Amino acid sequence: MSTVEQWLDTIAVDDNRAFARKVLDWIGATYPDLRCEIKWKQPMFIADKTFIIGFSHSKDNLLVAPEVIEPYQEAIVAAGYTHGKKLFRIPFAGEVNYELLAQIIDTNIEEKKGSTRFWR
């Protein structure tokens, strides 16, 4: 798998695929300096050479991997999302909290500015 379209095709339900596409398109439009690349079979947004945020999916959720969860735990729960150690889940049947996504992306861009490492 080498393109976002190929990744989107792995989402079986049309509405869920459209949901994921809308989120990825929003990031691309809001953060045009980020590159979207497929790595480890998932779309990841990258600034220079460093990871900013990545996505995968399950049957019912768009999975968001911001690399670290701890600083955002309260906001994630307040948005009605569940989380694990490395990702949080946006239900395909739910609403996207774009303000939370922007906060995470903005923070990662700022904290990783000038980094030559992919991961923290």
DSSP string, 38-85: EETTEEEEEETTEEEEEEEE-SSEEEEE-S--GGGHHHHHHTT-EE-S
Is residue 1 over pLDDT 80? no
Q: How confident is the model at residue 77 (pLDDT cuts 50, 70, 90)?
A: very high
The CATH topology of domain 4-111 is Aspartate Aminotransferase, domain 1 (3.90.1150)
Alpha-carbon 42 to chain mean position:
10
The full set of domain ranges for the chain reads 4-111
Cα–Cα distance for residue pair 58/61, rounded to 1 Å:
5
Percent of the chain predicted with pLDDT > 90? 91
Q: How confident is the model at residue 89 (pLDDT cuts 50, 70, 90)?
A: very high
Mean pLDDT of 75-91: 96
Q: Residue 41 in contact with residue 6, Cβ under 8 Å? A: no
Mean pLDDT, the chain, rounded, equals: 95
Each residue's pLDDT tens digit, 52-68: 999 999 999 999 999 98
Q: What is the pLDDT of residue 2?
A: 84
Q: What is the pLDDT of residue 94?
A: 94
Is residue 81 over pLDDT 90? yes
Percent of the chain predicted with pLDDT > 70? 99
In the chain, the amino acid numbered 120 is: R
Q: Residue 90 in contact with residue 80, Cβ under 8 Å? A: no
